[in-house]
Every structure is written in C-alpha cells, then in structure tokens.
Amino acid sequence: MNSLRNYLQIHVEQLAVLEMRFILKAAQMVR
C-alpha cells in the first residue's frame, strides 16, 4: 500500500512538470 502511494506521488509530480511546460509553451505561442 505504501509503494502505491509513493508511485502516485511521483506520477502526480511528473504530471505537474508536464503541465508547467505546456503552459509555458502556450504562453510563448500566444505572444
């Protein structure tokens, strides 16, 4: 159960990084 929680935490962190990159790219394209 603990390993699953760690896996989800890592996955969420990776998704957050991808979202930040996507938002930055979108912001640059808007300009």
pLDDT tens per residue across span 1-31 = 789 999 999 999 999 999 999 999 999 998 7
**What is the per-residue pLDDT for 9?**
96
**What is the per-residue pLDDT for 17?**
98
**What is the per-residue pLDDT for 31?**
79
Helix then strand then coil, in percent of the chain rounded to 5, is 95, 0, 5
9 half-sphere exposure, CB direction, 13 A CA radius: 6
